[in-house]
Amino acid sequence: MRKLALTIMAVLISVILGACSSSGGGTHTSSSSTSTTTASTATITIDSFAYSGDLTVKAGAKVTVTNKDTVPHTLTDKATMKFDTGTISPNASATFTAPTKAGSYPFGCRFHSEMHGTLIVQ
């Protein structure tokens, strides 16, 4: 019975640690293939532990963030806490409203410190 309990615990720990690590390590930043949107809606994609898409948006734009990875992520304003998607499960999306004041807003993932980027609000 004790051996079974230890085996179950080992499997659970492996699953939890696997969900919190990236394959390949290193620093992941926002992709260079970004675009600017002049619309009141924008889309950011999380894929391979990196952010890409509409990283320059209009003030007050609705921003939809889609997680294409197999682990949960967030897109969280690190400096002013003006926006946060909350946890986005794999293959799911969340929406936030961009700040109404123009500027640069550094963001990242609360679960993966190597993931970061900058939202430019115009």
Q: Which domains does the chain have, with CATH numbers?
A: 31-121 (2.60.40.420)
Residue environment code for 53-75, b if the CB has 16+ CB neighbours within 10 A, otherwise e: bbbbbbeebebbbebebebbbbb
**In terms of pLDDT, which residue wins out, 5 or 103?**
103
Q: What is the pLDDT of residue 23?
A: 37
Q: What is the pLDDT of residue 39?
A: 64
Chain mean pLDDT for the chain: 79
What percent of the chain has a predicted confidence (pLDDT) above 70? 68
- pLDDT of 34 higher than 90: no
Q: pTM, whole model, 2 decimals?
A: 0.70
| DSSP string for 5-42 | HHHHHHHHHHHHHHHT--SS-S-EE--S-EEE--SSEE
